[in-house]
Amino acid sequence: MTMSDVGPLHDLPEWVEPPRPPEFHPRGGNSWVISRYADVSTALRHPGVEAEEPEKAIHALAERTGAAFPYFELQLRCFLFSTNPPWHAKARRFIRQAVRQIEQALSLPVSGEIADELLAATPRGVEIDAMPCLCDDFPDSVMARGFGVDKDALAEVSRRTTALFNSLKRQLPLRVVRDYEAQAEHLAGLLDRTMRGTPTLDAIRAAGRQDGEFTDAEIGALLAFLVLASTDTASTLLGNTLRLFGRHPEIVAAIRDEPDLLRTGLDELFRFGAPIRRLALRMTTEEVEIGGRVIPEGSRLLLDAERAHFDPAAYPDPGKVDLRRGGPPSLAFGGGAHTCVGMLLGRQIAATFLARLVERCEISLTDAPADWSAADLTRRLRSLPIIIQDHAPQAPSTARKETTT
């Protein structure tokens, strides 16, 4: 089977709203909704557009109330998709150094072995929830091996960092900020206990401390962000893609016939299963022109990546999964200067697991409805009930043998 045999999958994902095409219009006040792919991409790369920094709002709240939120402010500053230069550029350099250290401790064979062990331990023929059993467990296991730390401890770091990340979705009253400050302080202690004392982490911390560039608290908060960017993103992508495979086994069959399709079509799978709904808010620092419209300085830009992924101007017949599409890159990891620093690790983690799964297993969905956790910025499956069986490769038919001899 080839991808030309699969045909169009006109049933768009249920979270996409076909009656609302990609658009570009004022939302009211100084806010603009942007969801055409070309316009979102332009906004991500325009020099007159920067990220809105939530840390500033929390700092202003602290000054008004006489309170102090040092741990929460620090963790917000280390969510790099919501920060700007010069801190953003300096912190990205550190994260890139950290990723190189982790890659030295990992390799494709090591990641493949972890996938094999996990799949071998997965029960066959009975219903399981793939989210905790597979989609969460595999990224956590890989990153824990890379750092040299306990998997459960790293999963706890990811969970608590995710809870703080969810603070970005709305304006926060004082009582809620106080709660987030307590959570951030607890996370800082957890990081201090967990994310140190291994060769990889010692090398990362030494690089961060060099010439006094970062404090230990900043290094810990940045590592928490890297854990989140690598594990949560990969976990969400895996869950969404496994559900797509379960709904459309012909895609799995095509990949089995031509394994390179998984590598070349990864962006297409991420387009359908992207964890990012809307990118972190952007602000114009000058009058800018995007998509033929002039946007005043000081305007807020709401970038709808989810709808941009189904813009027919960028992806003809957007309801079709075409692993040969070769279209523009997905926005699953953002774009421009704020492209996710965990992108390479996240892609490697997802691709390794999917390749092993397709090679060894058959997936079928149960009748349970999809249980989505849809926040303002992200979309993730809370649970994914599936049944896994071993894949038994079919021997070539007699007719085929006669044809090829």
Per the DSSP assignment, residues forming a β-bridge with 127 are 387
| Dihedral (CA of 237, 364, 19, 319) sign | positive
Helix (H, G, I), strand (E, B) or coil at 98: helix
Sheet strands side by side (includes 385-390): 127-129, 385-390, 361-365
Q: How far apart are CA 278 and CA 304, in angstroms?
A: 5
Give the count of beta carbons closer than 10 Å to the beta carbon of residue 122. Answer: 17
DSSP state at residue 378: B
Of the pLDDT bands very low, low, confident and very high (cuts 50, 70, 90), residue 400 is very low
pLDDT for res 8 = 41
Q: How far, in Å, are 27, 288, 392 from residue 400 at the CA level?
A: 60, 61, 19
pLDDT tens digits, one per residue of 330-364: 887 777 777 777 677 778 888 999 999 999 999 99
pLDDT for res 395 = 56
DSSP 329-368: PPSTT--GGG--TTHHHHHHHHHHHHHHHHHHEEEEE-SS
Cβ pair 220, 190 in contact under 8 A: no
Q: How far apart are CA 309 and CA 209, in angstroms?
A: 40
Q: How far, in Å, are 53, 57, 58, 59, 74 from residue 62 at the CA level?
A: 15, 9, 6, 5, 13
Residues in CB range of 392: below 8 A, 6 or more apart: none
- Compare 221 and 30 and report the one with higher pLDDT: 221
pLDDT for res 276 = 80
Q: How far apart are CA 311 and CA 41, in angstroms?
A: 12
pLDDT for res 374 = 65
Q: How far, in Å, are 138, 185, 330 from residue 337 at the CA level?
A: 28, 29, 15
Q: How far apart are CA 370 and CA 232, in angstroms?
A: 19
Sheet strands side by side (includes 24-28): 24-28, 31-34, 300-303, 282-284, 49-51
Angle, alpha carbons 311-317-319 (nearest 5°): 85
Cβ pair 35, 50 in contact under 8 A: no
Cβ pair 342, 348 in contact under 8 A: no
What tokens were used for 7? Answer: 């045909």
pLDDT for res 22 = 54
- The pLDDT of 74-94, averaged and rounded, is 93
pTM: 0.88
Of the pLDDT bands very low, low, confident and very high (cuts 50, 70, 90), residue 195 is very high
Strands 31-34 and 24-28, bridge-based pairing: antiparallel
DSSP state at residue 107: -
Q: Which domains does the chain have, with CATH numbers?
A: 3-404 (1.10.630.10)
Q: How far apart are CA 112 and CA 359, in angstroms?
A: 12
Among 104-108, 246-250, 264-268, name the one with the lowest average pLDDT.
104-108
Q: How far, in Å, are 111, 237, 277, 295, 367 from residue 306 at the CA level?
A: 29, 13, 5, 22, 26
DSSP 150-206: -HHHHHHHHHHHHHHHGGGGS---HHHHHHHHHHHHHHHHHHHHHS-SSHHHHHHHH
Among 8-12, 124-128, 254-258, 377-381, name the one with the lowest average pLDDT.
8-12
Q: How far apart are CA 44 and CA 183, in angstroms?
A: 31
pLDDT tens digits, one per residue of 86-117: 999 999 999 999 998 898 888 768 889 999 99
